[in-house]
Chains A and B, each alone.
Chain A
Amino acid sequence: MLRPRLIPLLLLEEERLVKTKKFSNSVYIGDPINTVKIFNEKEVDELMIVDYLCTSKKREIQFNLIKEIVGESFMPITYGGGVSTLLSMEKLFFLGIEKISMQTQALINPNFVQKAAEEFGSQAIIVSIDLKKDFFGNYYIKSRNFPNQKYDTAYIKKFVDYGAGEIQINFIDRDGTFKGLDHKIITELASEIDVPLIFSGGLNSLEDFKNAIDNGSSAVAAGSFLVFRGKNQGVLLSYPKINYDL
């Protein structure tokens, strides 16, 4: 059977890996090359590396670092951050990146998603959306580099029509909080969207993971859950053995 995927989500800040809470207050968690090596040895399903300030700080994509990271890992790796041209995508794929996640570029110019999908195939394109809940419980799409947009499934669906092979939804109010995923949104989107869905933000247990899968998610990406341990939140990389016969 097809195994649901649990994906370590690693945030790159310059040459360091950090973990955020609600996508700010970053804490240093380790050296990227070493961390990826450890996750590779744990035979994780897949890995996601996001240079999350690359676009807003107008930084260059760190190709050399990515090359080193990918060099010793034999699993699918997704890269996100600062990708705005087909040429940079081609470079990333050549280095061995399996999928590219785009956010700002997709919001500003959805046609770019289409161009990228035509060039590299939908399976290599993830559109990643940061979702936030306002005071009144309404959801909206937040970006560091683009005006907020009202959230509805039609808005997300549009990216699938443009050729996104996967959609990732980040519950950014829950990021690093261990509050659990937002199962209302998971259920709602899974019934409407035909491509695999990845959710992240707040994962707190294997039960939570399993519920996400039961509700129609194909994968869950997690940072804190796989990086921190205990109440003191000491850094300890872990990856659970999941019984898939559940």
Chain B
Amino acid sequence: MKLAIININNGNIMSVANMVDSLNCEYEIIEDPRKLIEFDKAILPGVGSFDKVISRVEPWSEYLHRFIQAENKKFLGICVGLQMLFSESEEGKKKGLSFIPGKVKKINHENRSLKVPHMGWNTICDQKESGIFKEFDENPRFYFVHSYHVVPEDESIVTSRVKYGEKLVASIEYKNIYGVQFHPEKSHKFGKILIKNFINA
């Protein structure tokens, strides 16, 4: 199994790499989109504002598309790495990658006691079976930090939610794409199990 961590210069690469490394799994940090297809699995970490990240991922668009269309490949998008798979975001003007039908919306801010960003450790709910949610012996909690959340057109792709005012999408599974709104690379043993599941998926 060959694992790629996609580096589009938007931070957080080493955290993901450190975690993969701690699982004794080999990986390569790739900066050349043309190499992507050589790998079986790819992780796209994401930090930053939507438009900034989209402009950096644009050169990857066609290669990412080819990757997720290919059989036996698995893809994991983290945070903005998940959000950019959708077609548009209230955070920016640019178009997303549009791999998954749906939108990215601002966390409901009407409730003043609700601070935005949603930042910190939260448990997930409405969990469905998914390749990345195996082997948790307690209800996992994850580190979240986001002001926007994904709203897929097809609700059935949602594999877990997180309660923050309303229930927001915490993870999805769509074809061979896994996506998580939280940061497994910052979520201690819970994140480690999830990344391990992805590696073994």
Contact = CB atoms under 8 A, between A and B. Distances in A.
Interface of A: 1-5, 40, 43, 45-46, 67, 70-72, 74-76, 90, 93-96, 98, 118-124, 165-166, 194-197, 216, 218-219
Contact of B145 (A1, A43, A75, A123): A123
Given A1-B123, A3-B141, A119-B52, A70 B188 contact: no
Given A74-B192, A123-B147, A93 B120 contact: no
B47 A2 contact: no
Contact of B112 (A4, A5, A94, A194): A194
A93 B53 CA distance: 14
A96 B164 contact: no
A4 to B, nearest CB: 7
A74 B11 contact: no
Contacts of A121: 47-49, 52, 80
B122 A123 contact: no
A75 B186 contact: yes
Secondary structure at the B interface, as helix, strand, loop or mixed, is mixed
Given A76-B145, A122-B117, A218-B119, 8 more contacts: A2-B120, A2-B121, A70-B15, A74-B19, A94-B13, A121-B80, A166-B119, A195-B116
Contacts of A124: 11, 47-48
Contacts of B14: 67, 70-71, 94-96
Contacts of B18: 70-72, 74, 96
Nearest to A44: B188
Interface in B1-39: 9-15, 18-19, 22
B198 interface: no
B66 interface: no
Interface in B144-184: 144-147, 163-164, 183
A4 B15 CA distance: 23
B146 to A, nearest CB: 7
A106 B7 CA distance: 29
Nearest to B13: A94
A74 B185 contact: yes
Contacts of A96: 12-15, 18, 185
A93 B188 contact: no
Interface string B93-132: 0000000000000000100110111111111000000000
A182 B141 CA distance: 30
B143 A165 contact: no
10 contacts: A2-B121, A3-B122, A71-B14, A74-B15, A75-B188, A94-B11, A123-B145, A195-B117, A196-B115, A196-B119
B59 to A, nearest CB: 19
B186 A76 contact: yes
Nearest to B48: A121
Contacts of B115: 194-197, 218
Contact of B189 (A43, A122, A197, A218): A43
B187 interface: yes
B48 A74 contact: no
A46 B121 CA distance: 9
B191 interface: yes
Contacts of A216: 113
B191 A74 contact: yes
A200 to B, nearest CB: 16
A53 to B, nearest CB: 26
A219 B120 CA distance: 9
Sorted from nearest, which 6 A-B pairs have the closest CB atoms? A93-B11, A96-B15, A96-B14, A3-B121, A196-B115, A123-B117
A216 B80 CA distance: 28
A166 B12 CA distance: 19
A46 B15 CA distance: 14
Nearest to A219: B120
B100 to A, nearest CB: 21
A194 B141 contact: no
B56 to A, nearest CB: 11
